[in-house]
Amino acid sequence: MEEAALRRASILRALLAIAVLAQAACGGDKGTAPTGPTNPAPAPQPDPLRDAANASGKLVGTAVQSGYLRMPQYAAVVGRHFNYLTAEYEMKMATIAQSPGVDNFAPGDAIVGFALGNGMRVKGHALLWHGSVPSWVDALPAADLKPMVDSYIRNVVAHYRGQVLAWDVVNEAVADDGSGLRDTVFRRKLGDGYIADAFRTARQADPSAKLIYNDYGGETLNGKSNRIYDLLRSLVAQGVPIDGVGLQMHVSASNPPSAASVAANVRRLADLGLAVNISEMDVRIRDAPGPLQTRLELQKSVYKTLVGVCVDEPRCDAVTFWGFTDAYSWIDDRFGADDPLLFDDQYGAKPAFFGVWEALLRR
Ligand code: XIL
């Protein structure tokens, strides 16, 4: 079925290109973010992934960038297949709080507007992350950093109150070797309690948003995931308002995490009463063995198996990919040129797409 669908997709993609050009010729969408179902999906695409996700009761999401959403084909594929959006960088501190006293909400607002216009939910990402700290914040003395962080969280969460389903409140706060908390500006100046304080402040600012701790390298049972588990268990025991945990799942097809170990880790996290989600999945094939088609099939099986772990766990509620088209992936800069996502750079559905689709439908 797959090959026929791909062949049909490539024939009709040419037609789509003509349609898009025709649309461009009659002055469609110049610089304005597409804002609703009026924006036609590139016809024909495979059946909507979001329908398969609905069938399994999970949310299926992607990271997006506000600039890319202005491109009709990009917006159409997002609108057709996903029902859960995460801003790739627009809702991070380095974007929102570029300079003291100035809130740059416009890029994030564009993404939230698109999502709500397409019947999608939004995950805010991320309130506190050491990888997105403006230099003026980094330079603050501890006495000024505390009120800054407190008012930042209150302000941002209040701005998106009622529009976001969930927030990644703290991101990547555990050291990679599992030895303890990561050495960050927040920990150095505010102490270990900065994590619990951030969750309490977020809850006060939006009592209905799901509050999540997010990290990478803690997908399987290992030293880092043990430390993450200990952190979350102590937060729960202290009565800190935390609702979920995100497993980023940036993995490689040449050495994928063991599904059984991921499943056991997901179960123990869920047994803490937390909702689990896969938050930033991509599967690198750059170092995988064999010709491209072989690597694409291997990639498909990795996506199918790991998404299947979430589908099989009732307390796993969402799967988000860190982008969806190989045209735009952070992996290329971070790990080297690759094809880690579900669609190729012409928005053609790859075997990986069908792997996720089959996992969501338990096929
Ligand atoms: C990355 C984005 O993809 C890049 O565009 C940006 O330059 C840096 O951040 N873990 C996270 C994400 O939680 O926020 C990061 O996103 C990737 C790793």
pLDDT at 43: 73
3-state secondary structure 291-358: CHHHHHHHHHHHHHHHHHHHHHCCCEEEEEECCCECCCCCHHHHHCCCCCCCECCCCCECHHHHHHHH
pLDDT at 41: 60
Residue 126: asked if its preceding bond is cis (omega within 30°), the reply is: yes
Please tell me which residue, 4 or 144, carries the higher pLDDT value: 144
pLDDT tens-digit series, residues 257-303: 999 999 999 999 999 999 999 999 999 999 999 999 999 999 999 99
> Residues with catalytic annotation?
172, 280
Q: Which atom of ligand 1 is nearest to the CA of 329?
A: 3
- Model confidence at 177, pLDDT cuts 50, 70, 90, reads very high
Please tell me which residue, 18 or 165, carries the higher pLDDT value: 165
Q: What are the phi and psi torsion angles at 277 (to 5°)?
A: -140, 150
Between the alpha carbon of residue 169 and those of residues 72, 156, 210, 283, 314, the distances in Å are 32, 11, 9, 25, 23
Please tell me which residue, 311 or 27, carries the higher pLDDT value: 311
The residue length of the chain stands at 363
User: Whole-angstrom Cα distance, residue 224 to residue 227?
Assistant: 5
- Model confidence at 45, pLDDT cuts 50, 70, 90, reads confident
Q: Is the CB of 330 under 6 A from ligand 1?
A: yes
Q: Is the CB of 89 under 6 A from ligand 1?
A: yes
pLDDT at 307: 98
pLDDT tens-digit series, residues 340-354: 999 999 999 999 999
Between the alpha carbon of residue 176 and those of residues 20, 227, 355, the distances in Å are 45, 10, 30
Averaged confidence pLDDT in the chain:
92
pTM for this prediction: 0.89
pLDDT of 336 higher than 60: yes
CA–centroid distance, 199 to ligand 1, in Å, is 21
